[in-house]
A and B are shown apart, each in its own frame.
Chain A
């Protein structure tokens, strides 16, 4: 059995090491960098953070996962980025997906609604719902990949920011351990659904 304190220190060092590696990332010399703020890792990291519709939906994925408990708490944040990347790839390859903006707005409404109603569908259904909406989010991001940007650094930043938004949602969702927190999270679900409704009215 390992010493828990030693294990915690080692884990913290491990996380710090990986974070340092990711932060040390710089664009490969062979790539073209446009030199603007949207280029490379910083541009990719900032990209998901500048769209309220994206932000609330990402947080909602984590919140809903936390609400559903294990294994959804980790399965949904694992499913979303991978399916989102497929959606992004579809956009990059020039394949159109109809109603992307409507799909993104609907994702906030549906996911927010699920949280507000404390809905607990089977895990497969929850993963399918999240995965379906991930296609729309990924397509929107992929279509907006700035030309000339270092694609690797941009994608790493973009996926990292999305994942951290999920984790923020999971962290907030842990409040559901307490009755008052559970109510608060459900109210947050209503707020997310309302934001989605506003974006849906603009998209239609």
Chain B
């Protein structure tokens, strides 16, 4: 596999294999699924992701992006558990999650082209995951499936709270 393709694939699988990213995207997808205007949430997330990547390209130094990402995951998970998702909060957290996810995904590439390939891969991977997971609750109409979503939200919140504590220690 060429270096460019390898860099793209590394970026593509990054949201699936980094637990903090996975937690945040799962929670955001569940919140997105509860919104009548899902595309608005997705659009804001993608825009913030792009802004975050632009900041990386402009060589922004180390940020507390991981901590912010986990705080967002905890809040979104709690919202899923409570089955409470006002549109404004959903859009706000989508923006923060997008920017933080991008800033927490600096490419480890050797060349500039590979770095860009990694960033593009990460953006596609994150958006695909968001869309795919957000589609599932549309088919989950049974009561136990709705409850399953809320339980999953509580697990996401609990995991994120614990890791936040480790980061703030």
Query: Which A positions have Cβ atoms within 8 angstroms of B?
Result: 2, 6-7, 10-11, 13-15, 17-18, 21-22, 24-29, 41, 74, 77-79, 81-82, 84-86, 88-90, 92-94, 142, 145, 150-153, 155-156, 158-160, 163, 167
Contacts and interface: CB of A to CB of B under 8 A. Distances in A.
Interface of B: 16-20, 22-23, 26, 70, 78, 81, 108, 132-133, 136-137, 139-142, 145, 147-148, 150-155, 157-169
A19 B19 CA distance: 13
Given A11-B145, A28-B20, A152-B23, A85 B169 contact: no
B163 A78 contact: no
Majority SS at the chain B contact face: helix
A78 B129 CA distance: 25
A151 B161 contact: no
Majority SS at the chain A contact face: helix
A86 B169 CA distance: 14
B151 A74 contact: yes
A58 B145 CA distance: 22
Contact of A155 (B140, B154, B163): B163
Contacts of A89: 161-162, 164-165
A10 B151 contact: no
Contacts of B161: 82, 85-86, 88-89
B150 A78 contact: yes
A152 B159 contact: yes
A73 to B, nearest CB: 8
Nearest to B80: A78
A25 B162 contact: no
A151 B169 CA distance: 12
B26 A159 contact: no
Contact of B159 (A27, A85, A92, A93): A85
Contacts of B148: 15
B22 to A, nearest CB: 6
Nearest to B129: A21
A122 B135 CA distance: 37
Contacts of B167: 151
Given A18-B26, A74-B150, A151-B163, A82 B158 contact: yes
Contacts of A77: 151, 154
